[in-house]
Structures are given as C-alpha cells and as structure tokens.
Amino acid sequence: MAILKYNDRVYGQIKIEEPIIIELIKTRALQRLKGVDQAGYFEPYFPGSRHSRFEHSLGDWWLLKKFGASLEEQIAGLIHDVSHSVFSHCIDYILDEGSEQNHTYQDNIFKQYISQTEIPIILKKYGFSPEYIIDESNFPLQEKELPDLCADRLDYSLRGLIIYKEVTMEDVKKILNNLIIIDNHWVFNNKKTAEQYAWLFLILNRKYYSGIQTAVMFRTTADYLKYALTKKYISYPDLYTTDDYVLDKINKHLSQDKELVRLWQRMNKGNSYKNDKNNYEAHVFCKSRVVDPFIKQNHKIIRLSEIKPKWREIVKQEIKPKEYFLKFID
C-alpha cells in the first residue's frame, strides 16, 4: 500500500495512507495550490509570511481526520480551496463578480471549477458522488458560518498564528488538546482555552485579516493585476495558474510601461499611504472575521458570549466588514 509522508509546519509529520486522498493530492488542481499564497501578496507587509493554499488544504484535511470526520468530509476539506485564483482573495477586488465585503468569488465558482478538473473522475472511481462531496452543506465539521468554528477556520487561524509568530507550537497543541466534537460542533473542554483562542483569533483579524495593511495589499495587488488584464499582458486563464507565473508574465513589460511601474512600486512599498475619509482615491472594504466558540460546561454546550457579555459586543462589532479610505503616496 502506498504511503505519502508530509511534513506540516504546524502539525509535524503527517502520514497519508488513504488511496483516494493520495490520488487527489497528486492532481494538478491540488498541486497548483502550492503556488497560490494563502494571504494574497503579504511579503512587503509581513516578511517571511508566505504560506500556500496547498498547506492549508492538507492541514484542513488532517484536522478532520484527527477528529474522526467521515472520509467524505475529509475529501471535502482537502479540495475546498481548489477554485482559488492567484493571490487568493485579491480576485474579489479584481472582477466585478467578486465581493470585497464577503470574499465570495471563489465559493461562487467552486462547483463549476471542480467540474473542469480531474477531481470528479477520481471521486467516481472510488464510488463517491461528486455532487454530494462538493455540497458544503453536507459537512458541518468542515464548513460553518461565522462566528462558529469549523476545520477550515481552525486550520487557517492556527497556521496563521504560527507563521505570524503570535504563538508557540505548545500553544497550538494546547488548543487542539482542548477541542472535542459534540453534535457536529467543535467544542472546547474549558472556558480558559476557548477564551484564549477567541482573543488570538481577534488579534489575527485586526492585524492581518482585516487590518489597514491588508486593505492596502488587496487594493494595490488587484490594481496591478487588473491593469495587466486590461493591457492584455495576462488573460483570465492566467489567473488560475500560480502567483509567480503571473508576476513573471506581467513584469516582462515593466521596462516599457511607466504606469505598470507606478502600480508595481505602489504594490511593493507597503507603507506609502494614508487613511483619510476626507481625501482618498480608493474606498476599500475588508471582510472581517470573529469567532464565538462553544464550550462544554456542566454537561451543557454554551457559547463564550453567554459567559462573557463583553464578547457578545465584540462579535457584533467585529463581524462587520472593515472600511478604509486610502490615499497613496507615489
């Protein structure tokens, strides 16, 4: 029996034995995600923070397997991000069909995109229904609406906490060791760990997911890519290759296009902007995320906000998209 070993920067060495999981990992659709950054284009803002959608996809699968999810749900977790374009959610700031407030473009095209890959053939080969697997409503451990926890949200947050150096590996182990599954909900065993994780997630949101530097990154990267599309330096299919491929293809034109140079410099400066509602050129929204985890207490399942009224107010405010008024200093 074939075994695939993978060294994950958060969970350590992972042994992959299920034939369908191994075959899916080897598909072009999954392998492409190695070249798609999870955050977009964060290097000028947070050096050393690059991590791929591929890493996250395998981490998502591993969490589902570790906590006893069905093989169908593990598959759903593994493939859930294959429809991401280059630079991930930057696509929502490029195409009219995208949503700055909700980042839904990738979800909206998921079923259509999957149908054009080798994934449905592999699913049928192993006796699974593609239609069932790609319907996220069938898999409550994998995907839930905010502010609930789900495998997707857990992995990208734990991964981010490690990569952005907000916690140690011991902190991550503590969080995972205090999680259990009850009635298809991720539940913490104790209030202290639940509250710690919720505050850490809040830090991630304010500093990385929806902070002003993220708004600048989304806007400037999207402007660069959108201009390149307009000039036909790249085409729509190029958006479904890899970050480096697209940048290399566009950057060949820098020597003869002053506007492209201006947008490239703006995209890479990272700190040449002001946020001024009275004097701006780009009105930008960022999707905002917050969690309100479940806790097992006295044989009952309750939310953190039921114990901490302050958290209820934080959830109410933090779940609203963040809004910025950017003026760039070229």
Q: Which sequence spans correspond to the domains of the chain?
A: 4-199
Task: Give 278-294 pLDDT, tens digit per residue.
Answer: 999 999 999 999 999 99
Q: How confident is the model at residue 11 (pLDDT cuts 50, 70, 90)?
A: very high
Q: DSSP character for 95? A: S
| pLDDT at residue 173, rounded to an integer | 97
| pLDDT at residue 104, rounded to an integer | 95
Q: How far is CA 113 from the centre of its chain?
A: 18
Its CATH architecture, for the domain 4-199, is: Orthogonal Bundle (1.10)
The CA angle 222-248-114, to the nearest 5 degrees, is 65
**Stretch 211-222: mean pLDDT:** 97
| pLDDT at residue 330, rounded to an integer | 83
272 or 167, greater pLDDT? 167
Q: Answer whether residue 296 shows pLDDT above 70.
A: yes
| pLDDT at residue 204, rounded to an integer | 98
Q: DSSP character for 88? A: G
What is the spatial distance between Cα 121 and Cα 127, in angstroms, rounded to a whole number? 10
Tokens of 86: 């280059």
Tell me the DSSP string of 60-84: HHHHHHHTT--HHHHHHHHHTTTT-
Q: How confident is the model at residue 239 (pLDDT cuts 50, 70, 90)?
A: very high
Among the listed residues 315, 318, 5, 9, the one whose alpha carbon sits nearest the alpha carbon of residue 160: 9
Least confident of 41-45, 141-145, 181-185, 213-217: 41-45
Q: How far is CA 59 from the centre of its chain?
A: 12
Give the rounded percent of residues in the chain with a pLDDT score beyond 70: 99
Q: Are strands 12-16 and 282-286 parallel, antiparallel or unpaired?
A: unpaired
Residue 5's beta-bridge partner residues?
15
Q: How far is CA 60 from the centre of its chain?
A: 11
Q: Answer whether residue 241 shows pLDDT above 70.
A: yes
Q: How confident is the model at residue 272 (pLDDT cuts 50, 70, 90)?
A: confident
Among the listed residues 327, 320, 103, 106, the one whose alpha carbon sits nearest the alpha carbon of residue 220: 327
Which residues make Cβ contacts (< 8 Å) with residue 137, sequence separation at least 6?
A: none
Instruction: Map tokens 């729509």 to a residue.
Output: 236
**Stretch 79-107: mean pLDDT:** 96
275-279 contacts: CB < 8 A, separation 24 or more? 275/212, 275/324, 275/325, 275/326, 275/327, 276/325, 276/327, 277/325, 279/327
| pLDDT at residue 278, rounded to an integer | 96
**Stretch 113-128: mean pLDDT:** 98
Average pLDDT, the chain: 96
Q: In what order do the strands lie in the sheet with 179-182?
A: 179-182, 185-188, 294-297, 300-303
What is the spatial distance between Cα 64 and Cα 83, in angstroms, rounded to a whole number? 20
| pLDDT at residue 1, rounded to an integer | 64
Task: Give 22-61 pLDDT, tens digit per residue.
Answer: 999 999 999 999 999 999 999 999 999 999 999 999 999 9
